[in-house]
Homo-oligomer: A and B are copies of this chain.
Amino acid sequence: MGGDNGPPITIPAALEVLADNPQLTIIACGDKYQISPLLQNASASLAARLQVIHCPQVVSMGEKPSQALRSKTQSSMRIVLDLLKENKAQACVSAGNTGALLAMAYYVLKMLPGIKRPALVTAIPGSLGHKTYVLDLGANVACDEHILHQFALMGSVLSEKNDLKNPRIGLLNVGEEEIKGSDTIKKTARLLKEDKSLNYIGYVEGNDIFNDKADVIVCDGFVGNISMKACEGLAKAVIETIKSLARENWWSRLFAAIALPMLKKLYRQMNPDQYNGASLLGLRGIVIKSHGNASKDAFKYALEEAINEIRHQVPEKIGNRIERALTDRSQ
């Protein structure tokens, strides 16, 4: 039900992903009166694998997380998470209210043993096809060194699902020299260096998010969220500037006519906000957050991310990794 568009986006995306994945079943939780008409033209074999559970409530996009948690126990968001908790579903995908999803997932699923805080993470596409996982992107505004250390471990496990051995872990800072950064950053650097299970490469800077320097970049949710939104703002400003250039003369109109479709493609490829399917890591279950204004194709990416994380048993591996780290530290 979530996102700016709801079932008209999510249901067609679900049908296409079902067609691509013959072993998959999708449970669509939401308003059956909105969902059913969208299934009328689906083939019987696909519709058989798309189960609908009617939910009388919806968490709206502007709703306060605390209020949604209290009063929306019959919402599509809550019922999906309940299914996950009862092992009736293996992953949750939502395009809804991020804050409410974080709060409800935290409340219903609980954290994996030993994990202090969940982290929101996504792969940021950089130059030449490189991807960097950046976490946290906004689940936690303030993080101490132990939380950031756990983010490094969780990010490492997530990036390993792309057949990556020893992913390179960088710590986001204002310079590469050892003396740079706050006390928390310096303490985190020490913990990451000491942890022999991590391939820690040291401090990285903001521009390195888009380089092939690190596979995982660790930061708190304040700086992660603001940096990624700043990049989104820059991308939009570039496109607007080109559009206004296009009104200047015939030469720039020609340029704009050629450049805009390709820039929009680039923008869709590279804009972190559209690079869809952020994972909420650290919970007892797989929770994928789609961008609220995701297109059908973008929502398909979010569903595919969920399938990948199920295949690679991401929560189980994170649980094992954290348990090992805690055992090592206590020895």
- Which A residues fall within an 8 A CB radius of B? 64, 126-128, 138, 141-142, 172-174, 179-182, 185, 205-211, 219, 221-223, 225-238, 240-242, 244-245, 252, 254-255, 258-259, 262, 266, 269-270
Q: Which of A138, A179, A210 has the most CB of B within 10 A?
A: A210
Q: Which of B226, B232, B235 contacts A223 (CB 8 A)?
A: B226
- For the complex, what is the distance from the CA of A228 to the CA of B241, rounded to whole Å? 19
Return chain B residues, CB-CB under 8 Å to A209.
230, 233-234
| Complex partner residue of A230 from B141, B206, B240, CB under 8 angstroms | B206
Q: Which 5 A-B pairs have the closest CB atoms?
A: A206-B229, A207-B233, A206-B230, A127-B237, A210-B233
A222 contacts which chain B residues (CB < 8 A)?
174, 181-182, 223
B181 & A237 in contact (Cβ 8 Å cutoff): no
Q: With both chains docked as a complex, state the minimum distance between the C-beta of A33 and any C-beta of chain B, in angstroms.
A: 31
Cross-chain contact A206 with B233 (CB below 8 angstroms):
yes
A13 to chain B, nearest CB (A): 25
- Tell me how many chains of this kind the complex includes: 2
Contacts of A244 in B (CB 8 A): 127-128
For A173, A174, A242, which residue has the most chain B Cβ atoms within 10 angstroms? Answer: A174
**Contact A138–B174 (Cβ < 8 Å):** yes
Are B228 and A206 in touch, CB under 8 angstroms? yes
Which residues of B lie under 8 Å from residue A181 when comparing CB positions?
141, 222
Select which of B211, B226, B233, B245 is within 8 A of A211 by beta carbon.
Answer: B233
Which B-chain residue is minimally distant from A126 (CB atoms)? B237
**Complex formed: what's the CA distance from A211 to B141 in Å?**
24
Give A99 Cβ to nearest chain B Cβ, in Å: 8
With a cutoff of 8 Å between Cβ atoms, the chain B residues found around residue A206 in the complex are: 225-233
Across-interface contacts of A259 in B (CB, < 8 A): 255, 258-259, 262
Q: How many angstroms from the CA of A179 to the CA of B270 in the assembled complex?
A: 31
The answer on a CB contact under 8 Å between B242 and A226 is no
Q: Which of A126, A128, A227, A252: most chain B Cβ within 10 A?
A: A227
Known pairs A127-B237, A141-B181. 8 more at Cβ < 8 A? Answer: A126-B233, A128-B241, A128-B244, A173-B226, A174-B226, A226-B227, A230-B230, A258-B258
A207 touches B182 (CB 8 A): no
Q: Which residues in B have their C-beta under 8 angstroms from that of A236? A: 127, 207, 210
Question: A127 to B230, alpha carbons, bound, how many Å?
Answer: 13
* Complex alpha-carbon distance, A262 and B259, angstroms: 10
CA distance A64 to B180 in the complex (A): 11
Q: How far is the CA of A235 from the CA of B208 in the complex (A)?
A: 12
Q: List 26 A-B contacts (CB under 8 A).
A: A127-B237, A127-B244, A128-B244, A138-B174, A142-B182, A172-B226, A174-B226, A181-B222, A182-B222, A205-B226, A206-B232, A207-B229, A207-B233, A209-B230, A209-B234, A210-B237, A211-B233, A223-B223, A223-B227, A227-B227, A230-B231, A231-B234, A238-B266, A242-B262, A258-B259, A259-B262
* Residue ID in chain B nearest A138 by CB atoms: B174
Most buried by B among A142, A262, A270: A262
CB of A228 within 8 A of CB of B230, answer: yes
A235 to B64, CA, bound (A): 35
